Chain A
Amino acid sequence: MKARVHIMLKTGVLDPQGEAVRHALGSLGFGGVEGVRQGKVIELDLTETDPKKAEAEVTAMCDALLANTVIERYEVELL
């Protein structure tokens, strides 16, 4: 089974890269962008077939390595 992890900076954490993207969009003439937040997506191929177990496993992976929960939040999506 496949899982997809979405990692974003927590609300309130300044995202300098997102800000730079917003400015670049502005300079291309896209004026209506009020904010840009940049995150990452990680796709995992798992041997686990039980969705509940898979979700628990991926959550543990997020806490141990994939996300830095000091500044980031994550969501696990099973595919």
Chain B
Amino acid sequence: MKAAVLVFPGSNCDRDLAVAFRQAGFQVEMVWHKETSLPNGIDIVGVPGGFSFGDYLRCGAIAARSPIVSALKSHVEKGGYAIGICNGFQVLLETGLLPGALMRNAGLKFICRTVDLEVVTAKSDFTRGYNAGTTVAYPVAHHDGNYQATDDIRKALKGEDRIAFRYTEGINGSVDNIAGILSENRRVLGLMPHPERAAELTLGLTDGEAMFRTLAGAAVDA
């Protein structure tokens, strides 16, 4: 099982994500944004948190047009797994691989704390390690995590069971308290909270570990 973690100027959760993947048994390759292809045999691509390109223009906008993201798109089109966390979620929305947009938090403040999330669906290789309806604790650290989407997209996300995580209480103005969503084929997850910062006891939180463990299992089966 192999994971690639993309690295942009301004990424700052890339190494944390690599550690979480490695702990789950993945072999990890770090891939610089100027590369035009992914290494051979990659099962999952991780788009990490941070402030890629200084959040210039819009969060994730410049990163979404970098050479490596074309390779990410074809990986996803071929049915490969991808996860975008925080700034990585913003990048996935800017590429159009996931629907909607993330805007400035409704309270205008940067929010940096651990939050409770409801696991809305267990029907994905990201969330299979949890029971739907249970609560997990992941940290958030963002200024632009206010998820917005048209009524049609919201209906589709609900109807197709593609809301992966919801904040148990509103923190940033997101519609339907959405914290993370899945793609139509359920192999791409974008979320604002950080499972990789909750994946070992040393960090004080372990709820994120199950996500990487089930992904490793899925990669073996694939």
Contacts and interface: CB of A to CB of B under 8 A. Distances in A.
A19 B160 CA distance: 34
Contacts of B148: 13-14, 71
Nearest to A9: B103
B149 to A, nearest CB: 8
Given A14-B103, A14-B173, A16-B173, A65 B57 contact: yes
A49 B163 CA distance: 49
Contacts of B65: 64-65
Nearest to B149: A70
Contacts of B57: 65-66
A65 B61 CA distance: 7
Chain B contact-residue range equals: 10 to 19
Q: Which of A13, A17, A20, A71 has the most CB of B within 10 A?
A: A71
Chain B at the A interface: mostly helix, strand, loop or mixed? loop
Contact of B146 (A16, A64, A70): A16
Nearest to B105: A16
Nearest to A71: B101
B33 interface: no
Contacts of B104: 16-17
Interface in A6-22: 13-14, 16-17, 20
B156 to A, nearest CB: 14
B58 interface: yes
Contacts of A68: 58, 61, 94, 101
B80 interface: no
Interface in B37-96: 57-58, 61, 65, 93-94
B58 A16 contact: no
Contacts of A13: 103, 148
A17 B108 contact: yes
B100 interface: yes
Contacts of A70: 93, 99-101
Nearest to B146: A16
A20 B173 CA distance: 14
Contacts of A14: 103, 106, 148, 173
B61 A16 contact: no
Residue picked from A14, A20, A70, most chain B C-beta under 10 Å: A70
Interface of B: 57-58, 61, 65, 93-94, 99-101, 103-108, 146, 148, 173
Interface of A: 13-14, 16-17, 20, 64-66, 68, 70-71
Given A20-B108, A65-B65, 15 more contacts: A13-B103, A14-B103, A14-B173, A16-B103, A16-B105, A16-B106, A16-B107, A16-B173, A17-B104, A17-B108, A64-B65, A65-B61, A68-B58, A70-B100, A71-B148
